[in-house]
Structure formats: C-alpha cells, structure tokens
Amino acid sequence: MATVKNWQIQREMKYPYEEARPKRQFSAVFDTNKCIACQTCTMACKHTWTSGRGQEYMFWNNVETKPYGFYPLGWDVKILSLLGVNHWAGETYQGKTVFEAAPAGQATQGYLPEDMDWAHPNIGEDEPAGTVEKGDFFDLPHKIWAFYLPRLCNHCTYPACLAACPRKAIYKRQEDGIVLVDQSQCRGYRECMRACPYKKVLYNGVTRVSEKCIGCFPLIEQGYQTQCVTTCIGRIRLNGWISPPAKADPEKPIDFLVHIKQLAMPLYPQTGVEPNIYYIPPVHVPLTYLHQMFGPKVDKAVELYKHIKDDEQLLGCLTLFGSTNRWVEKFRVEAGRAYGYDAKGVEIVNVPLREPSHIRPFFDAAQQAYRHNTP
Amino acid sequence: MQSKHPREKDGLRFLCITPKYRHGAHTTPVDLDVMATYFGPFGDIYRRDKRTPWTGESYVDINPGDAKSLSIEDGDYVWIDADPQDRPYRGAKPDDPDYKVARLMCRARYYTGTPRGVLRMWFNMYQATHGTVKAHETRPDKLAKNPETQYQAIFRYGGHQSTTRAWLRPTLMTDSLVRKDVFGQQIGQGFAADVHCPVGAPKESYVKIAKAEDGGMDAHGLWRPARLGYRPTYENEEMKKYLEGGFIAVDQ
C-alpha cells in the first residue's frame, strides 16, 4: 500500500499503487439543473459502442432519476451503507474510503451486483421523494423533489477497478487519463465490477470479459468531445482537461468551473477514487441529500448558481457547453461573447452570452399593415 | 362535490388520463427494442419475466395510497375497465373471443406524483391485436408479436385506448367544414377521421382498476425491486436513510 494525495477529500489516503497522475486528465462537467433525462446521450453511446452480442443490457452512459432511479438497482445506497457514516470535518473527509474500508484480503470495499440488478435501466424515472398532498406548491428547496443524474465511468485518478484487478488488465493512459480494460488480458473475474463504487464496469457474457466506457478515445485523440457530450440536446455537458488544484488554470474551462469557481463537484468524493466527472448540483434539492452525494462544498455552489447571471465569466463558460463538438482547451469571455480555443490556440468557436433578439413593431409602416403574431 | 358519477356504484372512481409520453411523439418511444427497454420502469432487454409483451411494456401510474386501498402492489398487473355500456366496445361480453383482445391489462407503477383519484398512462403505443394476443398465448417465449405481420404490441391485452372513446360534437360541422387534408396542402370538406376524431390524442375516461396478477417473476409475489426495498412505500432501512441524506455527517 502506498500513501497518495486525494485533493477531493483534502487528505492523504492508502492506495495499492504509487501516485501516478497522467500528463493530462480526461474530464467533464455536467449541469444537472439542465438535464431532462431525454436519454439522447444514453442512446448515442449505446449505438456507438454497445450494440454487439453480450452488450444488450449495457449502458456505459445512463441517466437515472434520483432518488429512486438506479442502474444497477440500489448501487449508491449499497456503497454508502458499506462505508458507514461518511464523516467530514469541514472539507476534510474523516470517514473511510473504499480502499481503507476494504475487508482483509481485498483491495476495496464493494459488492458484486446480481444480474437482475441491471434488468430495469430506467427504473424510478421521474419519481419524486415525497407524496403530493392537497395544496402543495413549490419553494426552494422543493419539498417533493427529484433530479436527473447522468452517469458514466469517472476515469478516476485512483481507479478502484484497476486496484482490484488480479491480472493487471486495467490501465490508465498517460496521455489522457482514460481508464481501459485490456480485452486480451481480462479473464472476466469481475473483481473490477465488485470494486467500482459507481458500478461502471460491466461483464460481457459472450466475450466473457469485462468492459467499460472508453471515454470515446478515438474522438479525443482527434480533438473532439465524446458522443454523450456532443449529442446532448440540453447542452448540459462540456469535456476538458482537469488539473490538480495547485496547477489550476483559469483559462481551462473545467479547471475554472471545478477549482476556481468551485461550482462543479465530484460524485461521492468519499469513495476516495478521485472521480473526474464533475456535477453542478441541482439547486432545488434538500442540502442534506446533496452533501451526501457531492460533499460539504455543495452549499456555496448552489448559492453561486442562483446568481450566475451576474457573473459574466461563469455565464460565458457555461455558454460554451454544447456550442462545439471540438475539444475546448482554453476559453475567454470578452464583451458579451465567449471564445473557445484548440490546443494550438486557434479559435474554434465563439458564441454570444445572450442571443440577439428583435421585436417586430405591431405596425409595419412600409406595407401600411398591422402584423399580428398569432401564438 | 354534490353530485356523484352514475357509474361510481359499479366501482368506477378513477379519472384515467392518457397524456403524451415524455420521450417522443407518435410511436418513436417504442420503435426499437432498446428504446422500449428504457420505456418506464419495467423494461428488460432479456425479457426474463415472459409475461412482458416486449422488451418493455406499458404501465399505469397510480398514487400508492389509492393502490394500497385496492390491494394493488407496485408492479402488479391490473385490469382497467371503463363504462361497460360501450367499453371496450359496444355489446362486449366476457366470454366473447374479442373481449380479451380489447380489454386493457398492464402493470401498475406506484407514482407518488399522481394525485389521489387519478390514473396516468402514456399513449403513443402499439396496442394488442388478435395476432399479438394469439402469439402471447401460444409462443413458447410469449412475445406479443404477430408472426404474420411482425407487428409488435407493447401490451399483453388491450391498449391505452380501451377505456376511451370519441364524441363528435355538433360544432365540429362534419358535413360542411372546409379543412385541410391530413397530408399535403389539399383542401377538403366535411368529415375526416384524423381531423374530427381526437384519435390518439390525450383523452380522459372514468374507470375502475383491479388487480389481475402478482408483479413478481412469473406471477409470484412482489415485483423484485419492491421486494428488495427500493420502491416508494417499500423502502428498506438503508433506503430510508439514503433519502434523508443520513449517510453523511458534516462539521462545519
């Protein structure tokens, strides 16, 4: 066991291998406030990567309604239960990570889902916590609430799947931090499935080996964002590189959102794997539930999001979501426009923070006619 | 309310609404097996419970309090019947071979967002036909797919329109109204089914609902997710704690 640094829980922790951060780390930010669970990302991923035999039940990317949606059934309830009470002192996690809570002889604390747990991928859709009573109305946070959680492999800095593999068949790429299962090395022991707290490694019963999200690396290598990101009709997603906090660069959009503004949070940071998909928390959900899911910094993020219209830099950065299929290395906001640049510093996109609008006058003097806008 | 619905004495006491489905228009939500799997909570691409007509199936949302008062569990199959005077069709008799093709059966989902006294079911779905019912009852895999036409139903029996009907109001001017044809730019006049009948459009009906079969695998016991405590009103201790955010303690 090595001792490594995990900035998300603000302390050192035990991990089977030495700290070896990649040159660049694949990442994304998802704005949960804008997700409507249309499942376009899910289907885009499905049709791109998992249309083969043995992959029928697989959704490398899925969107589940929280709190009653799960894929697989009960996954986060079970992981949280296995970790016990997740105690934080300020921003430092005092509880046990999946590595520290591991039973003797195992690399991590986890569980192997049963086949039937994967059966109903859209269970709980739109189902709120609480029951509608007569006279109910909405306030913030909502008394009756639900939100949509888009999920895929977190391409973790300290992958539990990699830690647990007895054949060292799982590796993390130096060039982009993408975590892959070597299909020729894997023998389908499913130790990775047991270990992954997010249950994002899946077993293929036909090839008899495990597989997972590959971060659309053939696209990444060409300077494009992933399928699930570019097909998102709600424009809730943005890919980018994430740096450790000490090297945060305010010109990199993901660094800006995660480190500088601290608007986007990791999913269940208490697992200790340092997941690299970040979420802007839903503003209408009770904070106790959000603490449990995104950690103790969520309060400030919720407040910041409510006033986002007053922050031109932040608004500009969010406007770049869904504005290009290219990988945005750096961005800049100036005079009401947001600009995105590729790795060579060449401008690849520029968008207005506010869409131009024009209201046609009721009376058209040129034609001497009244113009009705019939709704 | 001062008045009572005349059919209330026969057990009809739910307003059944069939609004548009959130994921698409027409039949797009159920045109592909993978999309049918994502159609609501009962989808299963491997059809482990052979009663499931396809890789997903239609369902009705019900307030858990209403369901419990009728001994309907989450995931159970239910029968839904409207006014027997003319539903599922005029002159229907239970021993008539057409009856089970037309009478609505589906799974019930506990949906806490549904007010008491209301049932919700999506439309845009392939209803049962004589061919799909025959296939469902005779094929070893029970798939509700007509072998001759390849038509695939997402209901075992009946459909979302089993309980509804169209009334043509006098103001629709079915003899004289000049109106556009359904396709193209041609102008026509008088009655046209797709213009005058609200076929397929959201409609309401007054119904009764009754349990048909257990939701558990092959009609035994509770549907698995409810049995394991991950469904509304069936929550296990861990799930209750999770809903309250009880797994975390933060000292500021």
Position A302 scores a pLDDT of: 97
Among the ranges given (A278-282, B48-52, B153-157, B170-174), the one the predictor scored with the smallest mean pLDDT: B170-174
Of B41, B63, B247, the CB nearest to A120: B41
Query: Of chain A residues 132-191, which have a CB less than 8 A from chain B?
Result: 132, 134, 144
Separation CA B144–CA A324 (nearest Å):
43
Disruptive mutation site among B235, B242, B244, B252 for chain A (greatest number of A CBs within 10 Å):
B242
Mean pLDDT of chain A: 95
| Segment B12-38 mean pLDDT | 86
CA dist., res. A366 & res. A207, Å (int): 71
Q: Give the ipTM.
A: 0.94
Residue A375 lies in a domain: no
- Tokens found for residue A253: 């959009």
| Mean pLDDT to the nearest integer, B237-248 | 96
Contact in structure between A157 and A173 (CB atoms under 8 Å): no
Q: Is B237 on the interface with A (CB under 8 A)?
A: no
Q: Which CATH class is domain B8-166+203-234?
A: mainly beta
How close B37 gets to chain A, by Cα (Å)?
7
Chain A, 103-132: which have a CB under 8 Å from a chain B CB?
A: 116, 119-132
Does residue A232 lie within any of the structural domains? yes
Structure tokens given for A131:
């029951």
pLDDT band for position A22 (cuts 50, 70, 90): very high
Higher pLDDT, A360 or A110: A110
The pLDDT of residue B30 is 78
pLDDT in tens, A364-375: 899 898 887 665
Q: Taking the CB of residue B177, how many other CB atoms lie within 10 A of it?
A: 15
Say which of B228, B232, B244 has its CB closest to residue A68.
B232
Q: Does A245 touch chain B (CB under 8 A)?
A: no
A-chain residues near B239 (CB < 8 A): 74, 77
Nearest Cβ partner for A125 among B35, B40, B230: B40
Q: DSSP code of A246?
A: G
Distance (Å, rounded) from C-alpha A269 to C-alpha A88?
A: 11
| Six token digits for residue B234 | 């069936």
In this prediction, residue A174 carries a pLDDT of 97
Q: Is A40 on the interface with B (CB under 8 A)?
A: no
A291 and B23 within 8 Å at the Cβ level: the answer is: no
B46 Cβ under 8 Å from any chain A Cβ: yes
Report how far apart, in Å, the C-alpha atoms of A83 and of each of A70, A101, A290, B8 are.
18, 7, 17, 52
A85 touches chain B (CB under 8 A): yes
According to the model, what pLDDT value does residue B166 have?
A: 67
Average confidence (pLDDT) over B239-245: 96
Name which of A349-358, B71-80, B169-178 the model is least confident about.
B169-178
Min CA distance, B252 vs chain A (Å)? Answer: 5
What average pLDDT does range A15-31 have in this prediction?
97
Pair A103, A249: CB distance under 8 Å = no
| Contact between B250 and A88 using a beta-carbon 8 Å cutoff | yes
* Residue partners of B224: CB distance under 8 A and separation at least 6: A116, A119, B216, B217
3-state secondary structure of A89: strand
Higher pLDDT, A217 or A136: A217
Per-residue pLDDT of B109-151, as tens digits, reads: 999 988 999 999 998 789 999 999 999 999 999 999 999 999 9
Q: What is the DSSP code (8-state) at residue A291?
A: H
Average pLDDT score over residue span A158-167: 97
For residue A191, the model assigns a pLDDT of: 97
pLDDT of A11: 97
Which chain B residues touch A116 with a CB distance below 8 Å? 48, 224
Q: Is A255 in the B-facing interface, judged by CB distances under 8 Å?
A: no
Backbone angles phi, psi at B156, to 5 degrees: -75, -45
Strands A86-89 and B248-251, sheet pairing: parallel
Q: Is pLDDT above 80 for B165? A: no
Q: How many CB pairs under 8 A join A and B?
A: 126
Per the domain annotation, does A317 fall within a domain? no
Percent of chain B having pLDDT more than 90? Answer: 67
Q: Is A181 helix (H, G, I), strand (E, B) or coil?
A: strand
CA dist A26 and A75 (Å) reads: 24
In the three-class reduction of DSSP (H, G, I as helix; E, B as strand; rest coil), residue B50 is classed as: coil
Assess whether pLDDT exceeds 90 at residue A167.
yes
Distance in Å from the first CA to the final CA of chain B: 52
A96-132 as b/e, with b when 16 or more CB fall inside 10 Å?
A: bbbbebbeeebbbbbbebeebbbbbbbbbbbbbbebb
Report yes or no on A212 lying in a domain.
yes
Asked if the structure places residue A206 within a domain, the reply is yes
Distance in angstroms (rounded) separating the CA atoms of residues A18 and B136: 58
Domain limits, chain B: 8-166+203-234, 170-198
Contact: B242, A46; criterion CB under 8 Å: no
Give the closest-approach CA distance of B23 to chain A in angstroms. 6
Q: How far apart are CA A185 and CA B68, in angstroms?
A: 52
Q: Which of A96-110, B15-29, B209-223 has the weakest average pLDDT? A: B15-29
pLDDT band of A133, cuts 50, 70, 90 = confident
Inter-residue contact B119 to B61 (CB < 8 Å): yes
Q: What is the CATH number of the domain that holds A103?
A: 3.30.70.20
Q: Which domain holds residue A53?
A: 22-127+141-248+264-292
Residue A373: per-residue pLDDT? 65
Q: How far apart are CA A160 and CA A198, in angstroms?
A: 10
Total domains in the fold of chain A? 1
Residue (of A100, A188, A198) closest to A155 by Cα position:
A198
Q: Which of B212, B245, B241 is nearest to B73 (CA)?
A: B212
Residue A66 forms part of a structural domain: yes
Tokens, residue A259: 């480190």
* B24 interfaces chain A, CB cutoff of 8 Å: no
Residue A315's φ and ψ, nearest 5 degrees, are -60, -40
Q: Give yes or no for a cis peptide into A141 (omega within 30° of 0).
A: yes
Q: Does the beta carbon of B232 lie under 8 angstroms from any beta carbon of chain A?
A: yes
- A39 CB within 8 Å of a chain B CB: yes
Please state the φ and ψ torsions of residue A349, each to the nearest 5 degrees: -160, 145
Are the CB atoms for A301 and A263 separated by under 8 Å?
Answer: yes
**Cβ within 8 Å, pair B247-A289:** no
Mean pLDDT, rounded, for A249-276: 98
Cβ atoms of B231 and A70 within 8 Å: the answer is no
Give the pTM: 0.93
Nearest to A132 among B37, B115, B243 (CB): B115
Q: Please give the span between the terminal C-alpha atoms of chain A, in angstroms, as a whole number.
A: 67
Residue B21 confidence (pLDDT): 84
Question: Looking at the predicted structure, is the pLDDT value of residue B202 above 80?
Answer: no
Confidence of residue B176 (pLDDT cuts 50, 70, 90): confident
Interface test with A, best of B46, B47, B230 (most A CBs within 10 A): B230
Give the A window 283-312 contacts with B, CB below 8 Å.
286-292, 296
Q: Per-residue confidence at B200, pLDDT binned at 50, 70, 90?
A: very low
E strand residue ranges, chain B: 14-17, 59-62, 77-81, 104-110, 118-121, 178-180, 187-189, 204-213, 248-251
What pLDDT shows up at residue B250?
Answer: 84
Mutation choice for B interface testing from A9, A46, A53, A132 by most B CBs within 10 A = A132
Please check whether residue A224 lies inside any domain of the structure. Answer: yes
Question: Is the Cβ pair B37, A130 closer than 8 Å?
Answer: no
Report the residue of A78, A122, A147 to disrupt the B interface, i.e. the one with the largest count of B CBs within 10 Å.
A122
Amino acid, res. A80:
L
Tell me which of A48, A65, A127, A149 to substitute to probe the interface with B (most B C-beta atoms closer than 10 Å). A127
Q: Which residues in chain A have their CB less than 8 angstroms from residue B23's CB?
A: 38-39
Contacts of A128 in chain B (CB under 8 A): 112-113
